[in-house]
Amino acid sequence: MAFAIIIALLVIGSVIFHAWSPWWLTPIASNWGSIDTTIDITVWVTGFAFVVINLFLAYTVYKYRYSKKRRAEYEPENKKLEIWLTGITSVGVAALLAPGLFVWADFVNPPEEAHVVEVTGQQWQWAYRYPGADGKLGAADPGLITEANPFGMKEDDPAGRDDILVESAIMHLPVDKPVKVVLRSKDVLHDFAVAEFRVKMDMVPGAVSYLWLTPTKTGTYDILCEELCGVGHFVMRGRVKVQEQADFDQWLASQNTYEDALALARVDRANGQATYAMCAGCHGVQGEGNPALNAPQIAGLQDWYVTAQLEHFKTGIRGGNPADTYGAQMIGLAAALPDSQTIRNLSAYINSLPATQTKQTLSGNLKNGKELYDHNCSVCHGDNGRGVWSVHAPKLAGMDDWYLARQLRHFRDKVRGAHPEDDLGHQMQLMVSVLGDDQAINDVAVYISGLGYSDPSYVAASKAN
Ligand SMILES: [Cu+2]
């Protein structure tokens, strides 16, 4: 009896929870209302089966409960009942599957007039490519990917010259225009998903998959990687900004084409050296840094990283937080750099400066530092802390330990990486959460700072701590 009541209560509780659940679909922002309809049908069919079967179970548990006076009867076959059950189940299964087939037929057939956008997934970032005026994406091949050609563009394909390359987590789409989203992966399986659009699709290395939709509401929506197997897909956060056509056109025009990127790739180090004069007062003539001024060694830092940091300082994405007094010093200086070409020249010059060995200033447990680094950081920053360009993770080996520790505290305390457009900084915030207290931070900072140096006195000094 008690058991029958429990089953009945579970059924009633489930129905009530479904009706008052805090977990609802996000408000829809695309043409895919039909996908919501199929979900509704599924909920009705499975919900009906759930309620009927469980109430029937409760009823039989009660009705046929043990009694000395009753004997069970053996009835292995009942043709009439089986025909009924098979019939009802078939109708239920057909109701579950058939609507999906119609929606799927629509989902894989983008309308003729759809414009094309390409999304590339990589561990653990998104990048976007828009065809230029010719409406055609140029040929690209992951085998051609280098630091200077992150999209793997084929240089001799004329269709690619006007392609617009967007290396940012944020993609833009015009509202009410059907779009075919072409999906590629540079490395492993990823899965492009936007809940508000009701679309998701796997991205398979070596293959091109696609989906299509018409955004129907302006606004900004999260792009998630819903690939569950593998490392770190949860940190692949992107956003899609749906705009009025005029705003979209204005944004698109402000982005670099592949042609622009080729021109920017030609750097002028001598020009960079001349500009560097305004930096030497703090960072030292050879970029060796000056602890007294809190300015870290920057010599030898990768040019792509320096460029990104200077662009971020310039726009306040880094250093704009009121608590970031050191970062704030860089804002005015970066703002004085007139254009991207100047910044690239300067970055190339800084990269060419030889890094010198920094002094150990903190005490830390090297063994713990190594363990923390190997488990949590080397996937991005590399086994030897030399940085990995493809994930935008800079060199850390040989950087000042006090500077590294300060950055880690700043990430932890959301002083760095909190700006909504600082996606890589936000990624680091998620990563440092494993480090815990200040001592763990010092341990890892001292360890990384010494990475790559074979100087026995350094190692001895570090071991002493
Ligand atoms: Cu992913």
Question: What was the pLDDT predicted at 425?
Answer: 94
CA distances from 225 to 9, 100, 427 (A): 38, 23, 14
pTM over 0.75: no
Domain regions of the chain by residue span: 2-65+78-107, 115-263, 267-356, 357-465
| C-alpha 54 – ligand 1 centre gap (Å) | 39
Question: What was the pLDDT predicted at 145?
Answer: 84
CA distances from 334 to 76, 315, 343, 345, 399 (A): 83, 9, 9, 13, 21
Q: What 3-state class would DSSP assign to 294?
A: coil
Question: What was the pLDDT predicted at 229?
Answer: 86
Domain 267-356 identical in fold to domain 357-465: yes
Contact 351, 303 (CB under 8 A): yes
| C-alpha 464 – ligand 1 centre gap (Å) | 42
| C-alpha 305 – ligand 1 centre gap (Å) | 22
Contact 181, 14 (CB under 8 A): no
Q: DSSP character for 393?
A: B
| C-alpha 235 – ligand 1 centre gap (Å) | 8
The CATH code that applies to domain 267-356 is 1.10.760.10
pLDDT in tens, 318-367: 999 999 999 999 999 999 998 888 999 999 999 999 888 888 899 999 99
Question: What was the pLDDT predicted at 453?
Answer: 60
| C-alpha 41 – ligand 1 centre gap (Å) | 30
Take residue 9 and report the two structure tokens written for it: 């209560």
Question: What was the pLDDT predicted at 465?
Answer: 31
| C-alpha 377 – ligand 1 centre gap (Å) | 18
CATH 3.65.10.10 fits 115-263, yes or no: no
Q: What is the DSSP string of 95-160?
A: HHHHHHHHHHHHHT---TT-EEEEEEEETTEEEEEE--TTS-PPPB-GGG-BTTBTT-B-TT-GGG
| C-alpha 185 – ligand 1 centre gap (Å) | 9
What is the CATH superfamily name and number for domain 357-465? Cytochrome c-like domain (1.10.760.10)
| C-alpha 13 – ligand 1 centre gap (Å) | 37
- Nearest CA-CA partner of 226 in 192, 257, 197: 192
| C-alpha 202 – ligand 1 centre gap (Å) | 9
Take residue 69 and report the two structure tokens written for it: 């006076």
Question: What was the pLDDT predicted at 251?
Answer: 93
Q: Write out residues in the chain with pLDDT < 50, as ranges.
A: 454-465
| C-alpha 438 – ligand 1 centre gap (Å) | 31
